[in-house]
Amino acid sequence: MFFGADREEKYEGLYTPSLTCGLRTGESLDLKWSDIELEAGTPRVNRQLQRTRKDSNKFGSLVL
């Protein structure tokens, strides 16, 4: 099972909430401790990280 295999993984803290809460990549990458309601055990998605590209810029820039 995936959740058992990720215990030693460097990014376990990113994978587990993403998969269990159905978060998108941009939402997961900008999640902060203040976004998590610890008593309820649920995250509040307030922001997301996006890559914007202008013209022929291959990499673009990251914005919230």
Long-range contacts, stretch 52-56, CB < 8 angstroms, 24+ apart? none
Are the CB atoms for 6 and 15 separated by under 8 Å?
Answer: yes
This model's pTM is above 0.75 = no
Q: What's the CA gap between 42 and 29, in Å, rounded? A: 16
Confidence bin at 2 (pLDDT 50/70/90)? low
**Percent of all residues in the chain with a pLDDT value above 70, rounded to a whole number:** 88
